[in-house]
Each structure stands twice: as C-alpha cells, then as structure tokens.
Chain A
C-alpha cells in the first residue's frame, strides 16, 4: 500500500496546500470578531500564549503523526494513533484508542463539512450577487436579504451543489493534479485580494460620520482593554487557535501523510503557522472591522457571522466601487473556505480508499453523496421552519466544530508525549532543516501543552454546562419549539456517524493489523 501512495509535487505546492488547509473562513470573520469582543489588543496576549503553548507543539505533532502514518501507507488518524500507541499499551488496547480517534475525526470531517460546504456556497452566491447588484435594493435590509437567501432553495441548492462539485473535481484529480494545483492558484489570489481589500479599507476615510473611520476601527481592534482580559477571553483565544490552525481535525495529518519519509517537518510546519497568522492577524484583522467601523461605528461590530453576510453587504451597496469590493470580499471567503473543505473531503476519500480499497473516483462520488445527505438538514431547516436560527448547524458546530477538536488535540498530544516507543522529538526532527530543541518535547509536548489543553477542556465543559448545551433541550432553542426536533436530529446524526465511524475504523484496523492484534504483539514495522 505504501508504495502506491501519492506525494506532493513540490515544496511550495505542499506549503500552499497546507496553508490553504489551515486558512479558512474563521481567519476572516471569526478572528476579528473574537479579538474585538475579548479585549482588543489585550486579547493578543492569551492568543499568542495559546499559539506557543498549544498551536506550535500540536502542529509539529500532527505533521509528525501524518508523515509517520504515511510511511506505513496510512492517511487517516485511526491508523496513525494505533501505530503510535501500540508499543506502550499493546495492540489490543491500541485498536480501541485508534477506533475512538478514527470515530471522532470521521465525525469532524463529515459533519463540520456538512455545514461548512453551505457557508462556502453562501460566499459564492454572495460573490455573484455582489457582482450583479443582487442585494442593492435599499427597500430590503441586508438582514432580511440574508434570511430570504437561506430560505430560498434556488440560491441555497445551486451554490451549494456547485461548491461541492468543485470540491469533488479537485479531490478526484489527486494530490498533485488536484489539491496542489488548486492551492497554487487559489492561495496567491486569496493573499492578493486580501491586500487589495486592506488598501481599500484603510483609505475609506470617514464617509458617514466624522467620528467613524477605518483607522478608528483599527484603533478599536488593537487598543488593549485590560478589564476584558479574563478566563473567558483566554478560552476564546485558545479556541481560536484550534479553529484557525485546523488542529484536532485530522486534516493536517492527512496532508502530511503524503510527505516522503525524509521530508522536512519543522520548517514546513512553522511556515504553515506563520502564513496562517499573516492571513488571520494582518489580513483578517484589517478588512471587516475597519470597513464596518467606518460606516457603522462600534455598534456595527456586535455581529459575528452577520458581519460578513449582513453588515458588510449593507456597506458595499452604498459605497463607491462597492460591487467590486463585495465580489472580492466574498471570493476571498470562498477561496479560504474551499481550500479547507478540500482537506476534509480528501480525508473521507482516503478512508474509503484505504479502508475499503475503493478507487479514488468512486470514493469521491460516495463522499459527494454523503455530504448531500448530511448537509440536507442544514439547507432544509430555514426553508421548512421559516426561521434563520440555523439550530441544526449550531448544534453540530458546538460539538464537532468546537468541543471535540480540543478532545482530539488532547489525545494526540498525550499519545505523542507518553505512548510512542521512540522519542517523538527524534521523529519530528528526522529530515528537518531546522531542529526543534529538546525542551519542545520534554517540557512542552509532555507537560505544558497537555496541561493547558486540560484546563481549556475543563473551562469549555463548565461553559457548556452553564450555557445549557448538555441539556436534553439546549437553552438556545428552548424558546423556539419548532427548532427542537432539528437539534435532536443533529444529535441523532452525530450518534449514528460516531457508531459507524467506530465500527468502520475498528474493522479497517483489524483487516490490516489483525495478526498482531490477536497476538497482542507488534509484528509490523517499517
């Protein structure tokens, strides 16, 4: 199997694909919103701490896991965890741990993309509407327009299916001709659009009110408000690091599994992190907030996803050159989301290829159908209930898009720090141009990073209990009975995916490592 695996065609292709994998919608709408809400400049202190305490060590571990898995011919997390853990806890226990991790990552890549693909569809739809002046009718507020959009099957289904088809096309073409080629085209365009948008944003001046300007927006974003710096802000910062670097999702490992066994890890992983931070802190922080502040003042910044789909369109339709800027903004979001969604799509295709021996084309088609099935409730809920609360989407996002990433990150770092037979640092440094120092392993990977993640997990659990997410009827839908079946439906889907994911991973592991599992002794080494 290992001999047949594809590899990346060039280093720059790998870096751009990995950067595309990490850089997603969250860099452009989630980061500025989180920073503005949680202390402005002061937010950067827990953010940078989380980047160094969690982000960098976990990124190195995920690259290492991926390359090691690829050496054995595996591109999925269940196998990778099994291989890393089997010496210390023996194959019979390692298969259970591998199956649990496989289950979690299948849940993440299938269900996160079930709504993420819709958001990508919305960005594509809004790019077309921006170019054609589709939301320029001032009689309809952009809030109402957004509600109409998500309740309009023609818009929702057309752009969703187009986005999904492009993803399928990219993945079917393989690593070099598909994913790498698309990343080489989309990522430079994304950075270019970002720089053009920053230039336009910062030269807007004060078009509506002399007290509002883009520079004042930047000032608002970066002024440290120490009173807002608390444990909640630290949790938000750590959550943002997981989200922005695509950690705990299995997709970094999947891309890293296409590395050659002597390929560099340290330099490449750090380059991915720095490119992601460039897109997030410099580009992401300098577009949406300054533009919104210039037109709406601080009041306009109170929305999260609404900032992109409601506040900004309202500005684009009134400003000079707004159609062009709107198109650039939504295409930028589309490219950012698309290059992350490819990674999740490819992960599931890899499972079918490696676990069931399917051809890539067939596997890609099955994943396409799978995404249609799990994504249908996201599309149908607003249409059938005539609401725009997106309860099914929110419930999935609370678990697979947020909470479970932290759980997965914790398991990965513990396995790398405590369960690997060989020192994880030797594996990380093997073939690397820059060598990670010893303390990265002995202090960070073994102690500090897991301890920090445990604190975050406890804090997140307490926040989830307080916010009523563990209740049979979660607080956020308690006053809207029509949405309760959609939330419970999301939970049933989650449960079914987890059960199937566990069984599927267990069977795949048994098929390849059955002999050593039955003897409870490691027999296969590469």
Chain B
C-alpha cells in the first residue's frame, strides 16, 4: 500500500479501535 493511503487507514482504524475499547470499558465498569 502507498504510504499516504496506509496512513489514512491506520489513523482511522486506530482511532476507532481505541474508542471502542475505552467506551466499552467505561460502560461495562459502570454496568
């Protein structure tokens, strides 16, 4: 993959993955 495409993809994937983990953790902790 070209560097620019890979950068866009990894930024989006990384941000979303971190959001899912942080949000799920917070929700389940306060269940």
Contact = CB atoms under 8 A, between A and B. Distances in A.
Interface in B1-31: 1-2, 4-6, 8-9, 12-13, 16-17, 19-20, 23-24, 26-31
A215 B1 contact: yes
Interface of A: 10-12, 15, 40-41, 44, 48, 215, 218-219, 221-224, 264, 267-268, 270-271, 274-275, 277-278, 281-282, 433-434
A12 B31 contact: yes
Nearest to B29: A433
A502 B23 CA distance: 39
Contacts of A223: 2, 4-5, 8
Given A215-B1, A278-B17, 7 more contacts: A12-B31, A271-B20, A271-B26, A274-B16, A274-B20, A275-B24, A433-B29
Contacts of A12: 27-28, 31
Contact of B27 (A11, A41, A44, A218): A11
A278 B27 contact: no
Contact of B9 (A11, A218, A267): A218
A274 B1 contact: no
Given A12-B28, A12-B31, A282-B17, A270 B23 contact: yes
A278 B15 CA distance: 10
B8 A41 contact: yes
Contacts of A215: 1
A15 B2 CA distance: 37
A41 B16 contact: no
Contact of B30 (A221, A264, A270): A264
Given A41-B5, A215-B1, A282-B16, A11 B31 contact: yes
B23 A274 contact: yes
A222 B24 contact: no
Contacts of A278: 16-17, 20
The 10 closest A-B pairs by CB, nearest first: A41-B8, A271-B23, A222-B5, A274-B19, A223-B5, A11-B31, A222-B9, A433-B30, A219-B1, A274-B20
A270 B23 CA distance: 7
27 contacts: A11-B27, A12-B31, A15-B27, A40-B5, A41-B5, A41-B8, A41-B9, A44-B12, A48-B12, A215-B1, A218-B5, A218-B9, A221-B9, A222-B6, A224-B4, A264-B30, A267-B26, A274-B16, A274-B20, A274-B23, A275-B20, A275-B23, A275-B24, A278-B16, A281-B12, A281-B13, A282-B13
Nearest to A268: B27
B31 A10 contact: yes
A271 B24 CA distance: 6
Given A11-B28, A218-B9, A41 B4 contact: yes
Contacts of A270: 19, 23
B26 to A, nearest CB: 5
Nearest to B8: A41
Contacts of B6: 222
A264 B2 CA distance: 43
Given A270-B23, A274-B23, A277-B16, A224 B28 contact: no
Contacts of A264: 27, 30
A13 B8 CA distance: 33
B8 to A, nearest CB: 4
B27 A271 contact: yes
A159 to B, nearest CB: 33
B4 A267 contact: no
Contacts of B20: 271, 274-275, 278
Contacts of B4: 41, 223-224
A219 B31 CA distance: 40
A224 B13 CA distance: 16
A15 B27 CA distance: 9
Interface hub of B6, B8, B24 (most chain A Cβ within 10 A): B8
Contacts of B23: 267, 270-271, 274-275
A48 B27 CA distance: 23
Contacts of B30: 11, 264, 267, 433
B27 A277 contact: no
A265 to B, nearest CB: 11
B16 to A, nearest CB: 5
B27 to A, nearest CB: 5
A215 B5 CA distance: 11
